[in-house]
Structure 1
Amino acid sequence: MGKLLLILSVIVLLLLWESAIAATITIPVAFGDDGDGICKSMVESQGYTCQEHKVTTEDGYILSLQRIPVGISGNKATKSPVLLQHGLFMDAVTWLLNPPTESLAFILADDGYDVWLANTRGTNFSRGHTSLSPTDQDYWEWSWDELVAYDLPATLQYVHDQTGQSMHYVGHSLGTLIAFSALSEHKLLNLLRSAALLSPIAYLAQLRSSIAKFAANAYIAEALYKTGMREFDPREEAAINVLEDICKKTNNNCSDLMSSFTGPNCCVNSSRTIILLEHEPQSTATKNLIHIAQMVREGSITMYDYGSENENNKHYGQSSPPAYAMANIPDDFPLFLSYGGQDYLSDVNDVKILLDTLHNHNGDKLLVKFIEDYAHADFVFGVNAKQLVYDDVMNFFQDY
């Protein structure tokens, strides 16, 4: 019974947000080209119109996109496109899990926005490639650098080409990191009107999750990579063994892993757990987890460190990986940032470092909202997120 409770608690944790530790479960839902897509399973089932799209990145990954072009009333969108970008171990279902009155995708559609949902490489409906299979190790040779360099540009360009308009962007967690990094390099500015970044991830050195910090400092992802594990599948039994070991070494209560990782979420809609289990957790690249662990250890935001001066020179022409300089984000680009006082991953002190780097940002182009009671998952699953966050996001969009 103890083992079963541990496994179930791991599943709930991963469903409610990010960690490089995972669970095993048999899910009675078919994924990929032979299964029902997100439109059919999550959007049309709520009475909304939905379109499935595909976009191919420059390095050959075939990503799925969903579009909600009208609200529940049937009226066509009259406002700008909005792209929603999920975080680690999740896909676009992030924005659809709660009832329509609580889920950001539906709320935006009902307010007249043309809503687009992104799905990064390796997730359930973005596992295609022009020449590789997910069973090939080379398919998984990427980190979030490639999300910045390939996935995000391809997705934004596709939405622009389809709509003829620049768009607003909403990211959560890892979805904020790739936006910050792209903006710091002055990429994609011609495609974006503004960005709303929830639980912003830029600096990670002060995250409060002792389990996550232990995993980074113990080089667990690096060890898995050396064994040949390129795809990190949260359902593999090996992950349970890793988790048990970490819990023992950090004296954490594995029956309450969600709080241990993400912080004590105040307002998550627990009644949606069955729907969560039908869609999450999902795979990522082990190399991606290594890159995140490097951020935790180094306290900086750089490209992937290949571990030696020679290897870095081969990839970057310099001995150390180039930095993503947050201070280089254009001062006149509209940003909305919202973070929580109980968030163990987007820690208050790390967010303050980020805000310090943005101190020259135009005052009327940077809106910051702090919510004392919110932890990491509350921003996407909170039953009161509309009142506390999403209404402000839509007001912010209206200004730009």
Structure 2
Amino acid sequence: MKYVFLLGVLTSIVYIKIISRGINNVCKTFGDYYSDRDRNDNCYHNPDEFLSVPRIIARNGYPLETHAVTTDDGYILTIFRIPWGKSSTPPKTRKPVFIQHGFGSNSAAFVHRQSKSLAFILADEGYDVWLGNSRGSIYSNNHTTLDDSNYEFWDFTVHEHGVFDLPAQMSYVQHVTQQKIIYVGYSMGTMAMYIYGVTYPDLSSKQVDFFINLAPVAYLNGTKSMLRFLFPYWLIAKPLVDFVTGGRFFVRFLSRELLSVTCYPLPIQLKICQIPEMILGGFSYYQSDPETLPISFLQVGDLISSKSLTHLIQIYLSGKFQNYDYGFEGNKRKYYQPEPPLYNLSKMKIPTHFIRAENDLVITKENVEYLYNSLPEKVRPDYIHVVDDEYFNHSDFVTANDVVDLLYRHIVKVLKDRLV
């Protein structure tokens, strides 16, 4: 009985000191997480972990507009607008900047880090910031006739992002602002723009003034991500995945509620939870940000369609930047040819700026350079900018501790030079 009592006391102490998280959920150093966070001046409560993007923007003191855009194929997309900075007054005109997130994410990627958020930095620098949300994400999961619980709703790939989502969003923003748009795309957000740009070269060049590529992707055959070893087996698993999930799944594999339980409160839990995305995008804890990492875990992930993943894997396996492959008979019905059509990058008319990272396993140097050389000379920049940190990986474009100094200040400089 005595030992049972002692075990109970010990269990209670472990729970109170280690497992119980208290009120304060973020700390300035990883070491602070081991302390009594509610009594530690280096720790505080950040409510952004479970807030929506509009509430995060408002909580950080920025003006907000919410706009709905309907695509030609019926998807209803939400765009968030930050028309001016926190301390500035509404001017007559500000250059519109449209920021598009990457694969399995949403616009929270650019507002969830307080002063380190790209959207807030650009708004304070004098830009009219628009935040896109791709179809299927939590902010763009409505349709004029389909419900997001139906498989038909998820029958899309990155092709539809480029052919339907971006034309609708660019047309709407240009109509509202009466200006050409600067487009900042990250990862799959860049692929969508390339698909848009080569499918509608004349329209896109009239709407988009300049295109900044963050981890630009069109070709994937050079990827060094460990997941490449699983890609050949995906086509076998896809029917079962579709049967179980209805054609979609959460990119972080765990729900936000399970992530909140699994990945907190200790630094060892935070670091273990980073392993899957590091295996995907580049292994390094060097840029892990103790103060914003807990928020990133819960805000950056979102739903993806299994067909979108299939399309990316097809691009990897084929080594070609091409449409979705429906198989020999399916391609003949869809495209009137046995092979899926290539996206002809020589048709691109929008001037570009390239930024890549040395430790990015998803978008490698070889693939970025091949994409760069596939573009017409008149739209290529003079150089490919490489982030000045050998450990900077694919996720660091939105989560790195030093992302402002290493990346976002460079983006601001490029924009200012462009507008001079």
The verdict on a shared fold, with TM-score over 0.5 as the criterion, is yes
Deviation sequence 1:200-259 (CA, Å, 0-9, x none): 11110111112x202212125534456464122347679x9xxxxxxxxxxxx9983232
CA distance in 2 between counterparts of 1:335 and 1:226 reads: 37
The answer to whether the aligner puts 1:206 opposite 2:222 as a matched pair is yes
2:367 pairs with 1:350: yes
SS in 2 for 1:356: helix
RMSD over aligned CA atoms reads 2.6
Tell me: CA distance 1:224–1:191, structure 2 relative to 1, closer, same or farther (3 Å): farther
Give the letter for the 1:140 counterpart: W
Distance 2:183 2:383 in 1: 15
Letter in 2 for 1:91: N
User: Could you say which residue in structure 2 is the equivalent of 1:380?
Assistant: 398
Deviation at 1:275, TM superposition (A): 2.0
Percent same amino acid among aligned pairs? 29
Alignment counterpart, residue 184 of structure 1, candidates 165, 188, 198: 198
Out of 160, 177, 184, the residue aligned to residue 163 of structure 1 is: 177
Distance 1:380 1:390 in 2: 10
- Structure 1: tracts of 5 or more residues without a match: 1-28, 30-34, 241-252
| 1:258-314 per-position Cα deviation (integer Å, ceiling 9, x unaligned) | 321110344242422332344342111111111011011111110100022x21121
Residues 112 and 299 in structure 2, CA contact (< 8 A), matched pair in contact too: no
SS at match of 1:218: helix
Q: Report what 1:243 is aligned to.
A: none
The residue aligned with 1:233 is 250
* Match of residue 335, structure 1, among 352, 364, 368: 352
Q: Quick one: structure 1 residues 273 and 334, their matched pair in 2 at CA, closer, same or farther if it must change by over 3 Å?
A: same
How many angstroms does 1:112 deviate by?
0.5
CA contact (8 A) 1:61 1:129 kept: yes
Looking at both structures, which has the greater relative contact order when contacts are Cα pairs under 8 Å and sequence separation is at least 6?
1
Query: Structure 1 residue 320 and structure 2 residue 335: aligned?
Result: no
Aligned to 2:318: 298
CA contact 1:268–1:377 (8 Å) conserved in 2? no
Q: Quick one: which amino acid aligns to residue 356 of structure 1?
A: N
Q: Which structure 2 residue ranges, 5 or more long, are not aligned?
A: 1-46, 259-271
The residue number in structure 2 matching 1:288 is: 308
- Alpha-carbon distance in structure 2 between the residues aligned to 1:258 and 1:235: 8
For the 8 Å contact 1:302–1:323, the answer to whether it is kept is: yes
Q: 1:85–1:92: 8 Å Cα contact kept in structure 2?
A: yes
The residue aligned with 2:211 is: 195
Q: TM-score, normalised by structure 1?
A: 0.81
CA contact (8 A) 1:336 1:368 kept: yes
Residue deviations 1:164-211, cap 9 Å, x none?
11110001000011112222331511111101110111110111112x
- Distance of 2:94 and 2:142 partners within structure 1: 32
C-alpha separation between the residues in 1 aligned to 2:379 and 2:105? Answer: 33
Output the amino acid matched with 1:337: F
- Paired residue type of 2:320: S
Q: Which has the larger radius of gyration?
A: 2
Query: Larger deviation: 72-81 or 173-182?
Result: 72-81
CA contact (8 A) 1:224 1:286 kept: no
TM-score normalised to the size of structure 2?
Answer: 0.77
Please say which of residues 125-134 and 77-86 is displaced more in the overlay. 77-86
Q: Which amino acid aligns with 1:257?
A: P
Counterpart of 2:164 (choices 145, 150, 154) is 150
Alignment length (residue pairs): 349
Aligned to 1:9: none
**Contact 2:250 / 2:303 at 8 angstroms: preserved in 1?**
yes
Q: Distance in 2 between matches of 1:237 and 1:381?
A: 19
Instruction: Name the structure 1 match of 2:385.
Output: 369
Give the match for residue 262 of structure 1. Answer: 281
Residue 350 of structure 1: CA displacement?
Answer: 1.1
1:46 and 1:347 map into 2 onto residues whose CA distance is 35
